[in-house]
Chain A
Amino acid sequence: MQPKLTLLSEDLIPRILEEAYQLMLKPGVKVLNAEARKLLAEAGAQVDEETFVVKIPEQIVHKALETIPRQFHLYDYEGNPRVQYGDDAVHFDPGSSGVTILDPDTFEHKTTETHDLIKLIKVAEQIPQYDAQSTAVVCDDVPKDLHDLYRLYLVMLYSKKPIVTGAFTNTTVHHMIEMLAIFAGGREQLREKPRAIFDVCPSPPLIWSNFGAGNLIALARAGVPAEIVSMPLAGAAAPVTLLGAVTQHAAECLSGITIHQLAKPGSPIVWGGAPAIFDMRKGGTPMGAVETAMIDSSYAQVGKSLGLPTHAYLGTTESKVLDMQAGLESGMGALIGALSGINMISGAGMLDSLLCQSPEKLVIDAEGIAMAKRMIAGMKVHTETLATGFYDNNINFKGGDFLKQKITMQLFRKEQHIPSSVIDRDSIRGWKEAGGLDTFGRAKLRVKELLASYTPPVLDPVKVERLHAFVFDLAHKAGMDTLPAHELAPATP
């Protein structure tokens, strides 16, 4: 039995949905993309072309909800299904769109470049707790026009895992779909076995930007999964109450889903988000606050009541260094997300309210994630009798009796998660002899080990060649003669 956390009582869910439908009529949803407004108008929504506010009646939304796939998968490079969206499957991926990386020696938050993203990919590639890669940081050493697709390019070269990504414009989303199609072997193959999912963000409150709605339409038509990342900020860009934020989240997601399904019924889309409460002292968006996690858990429950796949941003922190705050906020977030049965939980590795990535945090978070995954694996009945069968004739009433049982050897790995060297369970003496390191010190060592043990994926050279050519062509158009050097860059561009 997978243990579940449910914060909403049964009677609250219909109330949330009822009010979300009301919000879509009054005040309505502001849609800044002409094509999306056209799709909505044709379906029967009332569009004000002066204010771009669209009043979306419930029936159109219901129709969209009927055509959404309840379940789909993301595939790895080889085409194996690795991530299940739907039901209570739980996966984790590193948080994305960071702009800095924590220097583990100086604690400086440095602007990220090509080599930083590669380091993050190499570490995440080898950690089984991450079922997908993310395009974790923006690389400042390439022009802005390439920022989104260049991240995807590097992940495709250095990883075989599924990818959580996102486009920054309505042009580049098409480029990125094309890049994925090159590796998939064509548009149709990409549609059948998508490797990546694209985060698409509405702007709170109740706004679909030109770019957000444009991305929804492009992704729907390509049949590449979209993940709505709705971000109500309770108390600033959404009602101060947690339930008010959950309701606005529902309205933003439902309106997005409607645009998406009108563009192409049956395309995969996810009920996701990155909400937060609004910090009333600093004006920040505390991603590690427990109330933030409560909003996430609750909207996931609403999404599940509609039978939809879910996503959330959890397991992250406001802390600037890898300290106790980082640990407790990230660990609690991961556990709440897992117990809520959220299909994809993004945020691992991130500090400073999703601005700063850290490979060292990735290896520490992996342990919290492992604990959360063990928790939701639940209490298992492995044996016919629960205990009596263990007390055979060899029991001498000694403490070590059970260590000598074959079944102990057979089952201990199934019952216990064996932590990596990041977790210390040594005696004080063993700990001192190992260097007397704290979590951060052990994480630094583990990152060094992972970077040393990384081997590049074996990819089809013809596809890689085509990918290089495609990205280099775009780089030329963006005014670059060459792209930054790195170990898997082509010898002759």
Chain B
Amino acid sequence: MFEELYKQMAQSIIEGEKETAIELAQKSIELGIPPLDAITNGFVVGVNYIGDLFGKGEAFLPELVMAGEAMKAAVAVLEPELLKLGEAREMMGRVVLATVEGDIHEIGKTLVGTMLSASGFEVVDLGVDQPAEKIIGKALEIDAQLIGLSALLTTTMVRQREVIEELDKEGLRPRIKVMVGGAPITREWAEKIKADGTSEDAVGAVQLAKKLVGKD
């Protein structure tokens, strides 16, 4: 019965219209639409659509980022309502993201964070230049199922291995899975350092993350 509104919600995400997405989220609360329905039938449809287009090379990074930002904003409006109702959006999983120690590049990682949040993951992004112990500490603190490690430089990508070795030493795997990414990262590298997976882009990273938490 709210088909038209759901369509507008999806459209607001596709167009990356954050303000419109917020307004539509508020409107859905006023109309008494269950927040989960608004997310699932409305906003998520938009995120999936733009993600598909991006995968086909027909949408571009600015559109993907704007869609992710609009999604985050809409969910932020709906979340307090979910809590009030004692419900929760099905949380896909908790993820800690970081760029490894010695590396300060993070455009790709931030993009992955945006897309993961938009897809229902709870994301803690530690930022750049993060040592292994800090990343692992945060993962334990929030009971994360996933760690995402970014590196742009061939000189810092070895740090991804350090984090994985540290996790292994402390017996934290396979409880915590690790995905690695960054320009120089190949599938061969991911296998070599015993990571659980890698992806070429942010849309692929969401698929990978879903797979690793068993929700694909």
Contacts and interface: CB of A to CB of B under 8 A. Distances in A.
Nearest to B185: A429
Nearest to A402: B62
Contacts of A398: 106-107, 110
Contacts of B187: 429
Contacts of A403: 61-62, 65, 107, 111
B165 interface: no
B200 A404 contact: no
Contact of A429 (B62, B63, B69, B186): B186
B209 to A, nearest CB: 18
B2 interface: no
A427 B198 CA distance: 13
A427 B183 contact: yes
A108 B62 CA distance: 44
Interface stretch (A94-102, A126-134, A269-277, A405-413): A405-413
Interface string B93-109: 00000000000011100
Given A427-B200, A429-B200, A430-B200, A404 B66 contact: yes
A400 interface: yes
Contacts of A409: 16, 62-63, 66
A80 to B, nearest CB: 27
Given A408-B62, A427-B200, A400 B183 contact: no
Contacts of B16: 406, 409
Given A399-B107, A433-B200, 20 more contacts: A398-B106, A398-B107, A399-B106, A400-B65, A400-B106, A400-B107, A400-B110, A403-B61, A403-B65, A403-B107, A403-B111, A404-B66, A408-B62, A409-B62, A409-B66, A412-B62, A418-B60, A427-B200, A429-B200, A430-B200
Given A400-B110, A400-B111, A403-B111, A412 B66 contact: no
Nearest to A421: B57
Interface of B: 16, 57, 60-63, 65-66, 69, 105-107, 110-111, 183, 185-187, 200
Interface of A: 398-400, 403-404, 406, 408-409, 412, 418, 421, 427-430, 433
A237 to B, nearest CB: 48
A427 B186 CA distance: 9
Contacts, number: 40
Contact of B69 (A404, A412, A418, A433): A404
Contacts of A430: 200
**Cβ-closest 6 pairs across A and B:** A409-B62, A399-B107, A400-B107, A400-B110, A408-B62, A403-B65
25 contacts: A398-B106, A398-B107, A398-B110, A399-B105, A399-B106, A399-B107, A399-B110, A400-B65, A400-B106, A400-B107, A400-B110, A400-B111, A403-B61, A403-B62, A403-B107, A403-B111, A404-B69, A408-B62, A409-B63, A421-B57, A428-B186, A429-B185, A429-B187, A429-B200, A430-B200
Most buried by B among A403, A408, A428: A403
Contacts of B105: 399
A409 B183 CA distance: 23
Nearest to A408: B62
A471 to B, nearest CB: 41
A427 B199 CA distance: 11
Contacts of B185: 429
Contacts of A429: 185-187, 200
B57 A404 contact: no
Contacts of A421: 57
Contacts of A406: 16, 66
B129 to A, nearest CB: 13
A403 B111 CA distance: 9
Nearest to A420: B57
Nearest to B189: A429
A103 B100 CA distance: 51
B173 to A, nearest CB: 24
B151 to A, nearest CB: 14
Nearest to A410: B62
A25 B193 CA distance: 82
Given A398-B106, A427-B183, A429-B187, A404 B60 contact: no
Contacts of A418: 60
Nearest to A432: B186
B183 A404 contact: no
Contacts of B106: 398-400
Contacts of A404: 65-66, 69
Contacts of B107: 398-400, 403
A474 B106 CA distance: 69
B60 A412 contact: yes
A399 B186 CA distance: 23
A136 B62 CA distance: 40
Contacts of B65: 400, 403-404
A412 B61 CA distance: 10
Nearest to A409: B62
A406 B18 CA distance: 10
A398 B108 CA distance: 11
Nearest to B109: A400
Contacts of B57: 421
A416 to B, nearest CB: 9
A403 B16 CA distance: 12
A183 B69 CA distance: 53
